[in-house]
Structure 1
Amino acid sequence: MLGAIGVVFGDIGTSPLYALKECFSPEHGIPFSTEATYGIISMLFWALILVVTVKYVAFVMRADNNGEGGVLSLMALALRSAAPGSGRARMFMMLGVFAACMLYGESVITPAISVLSAVEGLEVAAPGLNHYVIPITVTILTAIFLIQRFGTEAVGRLFGPITLLWFVSLGALGLLNIIKAPEILVSINPFYAYEFVTEHTLQAFIVMGSVVLVVTGVEALYLDMGHFGAKPVRLAWLFVVLPCLLLNYFGQGALLVTTPSAISNPFYLMVPEWALFPMVLLATCATVIASQAVISGAFSLTSQAIQLGLMPRMLIRHTSAAERGQIYIPIVNWTLLILVLITVVSFKKSENLAAAYGIAVTTTMLITTLLVSVVMRREWGWNPLLIIGLVIAFLVIDIAFWTANLIKLKDGGWFPLLLGSITFFLLMTWYRGRALLRARTLEDGIPLEPFIAALLAYPPHRVEGTAVFLTGNTESVPVSLLHNLKHNRVLHERVVFMSFVTRDIPYVSDLERLSLTELGSGVYILKADFGFKETPDVNQVMQLAQSQLDMPFELMDTSFFIARESVVPSKLPGMSMFRERIFAWMHQNGAKPSDFFHIPANRVVELGTKVEI
Structure 2
Amino acid sequence: MTSGEAATPADMRMSTRENPHKKSMPLLVLGSVGVVYGDIGTSPLYAMKESLLHVGGIPSATEIIGIVSLLVWSLIIVVTVKYVMLVLRADNQGEGGALSLMALAQKALQRPNKVIMALGIIGAALFYGDAILTPAVSVLSAIEGLKVTTPGIDPYIVPIAIVIIVGLYAVQSFGTAKMAVFFGPIMAVWFLTLALIGVYHIGDAPQILHALNPANGLWFMTSHGIIGFTVLGSVFLAVTGAEALYADMGHFGKRPIQLAWLAFVGPALLLNYLGQGAFALSNPEALPNLFFLSAPEWARFPLVILATLATIIAGQAVITGAFSLTQQAIQLGLFPRLQIEHTSESEQGQIYLPTVNWLMLVGVVMLILFFQSSSSLAAAYGIAVTGTMIITSLMAVVVFAYGWGWGLGLAIAVVTPFILIDTAFLSANLLKLADGGYLPLIIGGCIVCLMSIWVRGVRLLNTKAAQQNLSLDTFIKAMETSSVTHVSGTAMYLTSTPETVPSALLHNLKHNRVLHEKNVVITIRTADTPYVSQEERLDYQVLSPSFARIELRYGFLDEPNLVQALIHLRERGVKFDVMSTTFFVGRRRIKSAARSEMPRWQSQIFIKMARHSYDAIDYYRIPANRVVELGTYVTL
1:124-143 correspondence to structure 2 within 5 Å: 124-143=148-167
- Find the counterpart in structure 2 of residue 200 from structure 1: 224
- Find the counterpart in structure 2 of residue 358 from structure 1: 382
- Find the counterpart in structure 2 of residue 10 from structure 1: 38
1:69-88 correspondence to structure 2 within 5 Å: 69-82=96-109, 84=111
% identity of equivalent residues: 48
Of 53, 57, 60, which residue of structure 1 is paired with 2:87? 60
CA distance in 1, matches of 2:530, 2:303: 40
Alignment-mate amino acid for residue 454 of structure 1? A
Of the structure 1 ranges 560-569 and 358-367, higher mean CA displacement relative to structure 2 is found in 560-569
- Measured against aligned partners, the alpha-carbon deviations of 1:303-322 in whole angstroms (never above 9, x if no partner) come to 11111111111111121221
Contact 1:30/1:203 (<8 A) preserved: no
How far off its partner does 1:447 sit?
A: 1.5
Of 450, 461, 468, which residue of structure 1 is paired with 2:492? 468
Contact 1:170/1:245 (<8 A) preserved: yes
How far off its partner does 1:606 sit?
A: 1.3
- Find the counterpart in structure 2 of residue 610 from structure 1: 633
SS in structure 2 opposite 1:574?
Answer: coil
Contact 1:571/1:577 (<8 A) preserved: no
Under a length normalisation based on structure 1, what TM-score does the superposition of the two structures give? 0.96
Of the structure 1 ranges 151-160 and 565-574, higher mean CA displacement relative to structure 2 is found in 565-574
- Measured against aligned partners, the alpha-carbon deviations of 1:423-459 in whole angstroms (never above 9, x if no partner) come to 1111101111111111111111211133123213335
Contact 1:513/1:528 (<8 A) preserved: yes
How far off its partner does 1:71 sit?
A: 0.7
Is 1:25 aligned to residue 53 of structure 2?
Answer: yes
Alignment-mate amino acid for residue 11 of structure 1? D
Contact 2:109/2:402 (<8 A) preserved: no
- Find the counterpart in structure 2 of residue 567 from structure 1: 590
Change (3 A) 1:209 1:518: same
Of the structure 1 ranges 38-47 and 121-130, higher mean CA displacement relative to structure 2 is found in 121-130
Change (3 A) 1:272 1:23: same
Alignment-mate amino acid for residue 39 of structure 2? D
- Find the counterpart in structure 2 of residue 98 from structure 1: 122
- Find the counterpart in structure 1 of residue 561 from structure 2: 537
Of the structure 1 ranges 129-138 and 307-316, higher mean CA displacement relative to structure 2 is found in 129-138
- Measured against aligned partners, the alpha-carbon deviations of 1:375-397 in whole angstroms (never above 9, x if no partner) come to 11111121444323222211210
Contact 1:542/1:553 (<8 A) preserved: no
Contact 2:58/2:284 (<8 A) preserved: no
CA distance in 2, matches of 1:604, 1:583: 26
Of 608, 620, 632, which residue of structure 2 is paired with 1:585? 608
- Find the counterpart in structure 1 of residue 545 from structure 2: 521
CA distance in 2, matches of 1:99, 1:146: 27
Alignment-mate amino acid for residue 586 of structure 2? A
Contact 2:397/2:408 (<8 A) preserved: no
Change (3 A) 1:457 1:112: same
Contact 1:497/1:524 (<8 A) preserved: yes
How far off its partner does 1:522 sit?
A: 4.5
SS in structure 1 opposite 2:78?
Answer: helix
SS in structure 2 opposite 1:474?
Answer: coil
Under a length normalisation based on structure 2, what TM-score does the superposition of the two structures give? 0.93
CA distance in 2, matches of 1:32, 1:544: 69
CA distance in 2, matches of 1:54, 1:490: 66
How far off its partner does 1:57 sit?
A: 1.1
- Find the counterpart in structure 1 of residue 455 from structure 2: 431
1:136-285 correspondence to structure 2 within 5 Å: 136-285=160-309
SS in structure 2 opposite 1:42?
Answer: helix
- Measured against aligned partners, the alpha-carbon deviations of 1:382-426 in whole angstroms (never above 9, x if no partner) come to 144432322221121011100111111110000000100011111
Is 1:401 aligned to residue 425 of structure 2?
Answer: yes
- Measured against aligned partners, the alpha-carbon deviations of 1:52-99 in whole angstroms (never above 9, x if no partner) come to 1111111111111111110111111222355756xxx11111111011
Contact 2:465/2:497 (<8 A) preserved: no
Contact 2:402/2:408 (<8 A) preserved: no
RMSD: 1.5
Contact 2:140/2:158 (<8 A) preserved: yes
Of 297, 320, 324, which residue of structure 1 is paired with 2:348? 324
SS in structure 2 opposite 1:520?
Answer: coil
Of the structure 1 ranges 518-527 and 500-509, higher mean CA displacement relative to structure 2 is found in 518-527
Of the structure 1 ranges 321-330 and 376-385, higher mean CA displacement relative to structure 2 is found in 376-385
- Find the counterpart in structure 1 of residue 25 from structure 2: none
Is 1:502 aligned to residue 526 of structure 2?
Answer: yes
How far off its partner does 1:466 sit?
A: 2.5
Contact 2:201/2:279 (<8 A) preserved: yes
- Find the counterpart in structure 1 of residue 466 from structure 2: 442
Contact 1:24/1:30 (<8 A) preserved: no
Contact 2:587/2:631 (<8 A) preserved: yes
Alignment-mate amino acid for residue 215 of structure 1? V
CA distance in 2, matches of 1:84, 1:230: 27
Of the structure 1 ranges 389-398 and 135-144, higher mean CA displacement relative to structure 2 is found in 389-398
CA distance in 1, matches of 2:212, 2:573: 63
- Find the counterpart in structure 2 of residue 50 from structure 1: 77
Contact 1:514/1:528 (<8 A) preserved: yes
Contact 1:151/1:327 (<8 A) preserved: yes
1:593-604 correspondence to structure 2 within 5 Å: 593-604=616-627
Of the structure 1 ranges 270-279 and 596-605, higher mean CA displacement relative to structure 2 is found in 596-605
Alignment-mate amino acid for residue 590 of structure 2? V
How far off its partner does 1:102 sit?
A: 0.5
CA distance in 1, matches of 2:371, 2:527: 42
Change (3 A) 1:488 1:382: same
Change (3 A) 1:156 1:562: same
- Measured against aligned partners, the alpha-carbon deviations of 1:117-173 in whole angstroms (never above 9, x if no partner) come to 111111111122222111111111111111111111121111111111111111111
How far off its partner does 1:550 sit?
A: 4.2
CA distance in 2, matches of 1:529, 1:389: 37
Contact 1:456/1:521 (<8 A) preserved: no
CA distance in 2, matches of 1:267, 1:29: 18
CA distance in 2, matches of 1:456, 1:170: 76
What residue ranges of structure 2 are gaps of 5+ in the alignment? 1-28
Contact 2:61/2:281 (<8 A) preserved: yes
SS in structure 2 opposite 1:128?
Answer: coil
CA distance in 1, matches of 2:147, 2:248: 34
How far off its partner does 1:352 sit?
A: 0.7
SS in structure 2 opposite 1:315?
Answer: coil
CA distance in 2, matches of 1:92, 1:29: 42
How far off its partner does 1:323 sit?
A: 1.6
How far off its partner does 1:50 sit?
A: 0.5
Q: How many residues align?
A: 608
How far off its partner does 1:295 sit?
A: 0.5
Alignment-mate amino acid for residue 98 of structure 2? V
Of 282, 293, 303, which residue of structure 1 is paired with 2:317? 293
CA distance in 1, matches of 2:78, 2:225: 21
Contact 2:492/2:521 (<8 A) preserved: yes
How far off its partner does 1:17 sit?
A: 0.5
CA distance in 2, matches of 1:308, 1:211: 35
Change (3 A) 1:14 1:464: same
Of 45, 50, 61, which residue of structure 2 is paired with 1:34? 61
Alignment-mate amino acid for residue 54 of structure 1? V
- Measured against aligned partners, the alpha-carbon deviations of 1:449-480 in whole angstroms (never above 9, x if no partner) come to 33123213335322233222111121111000
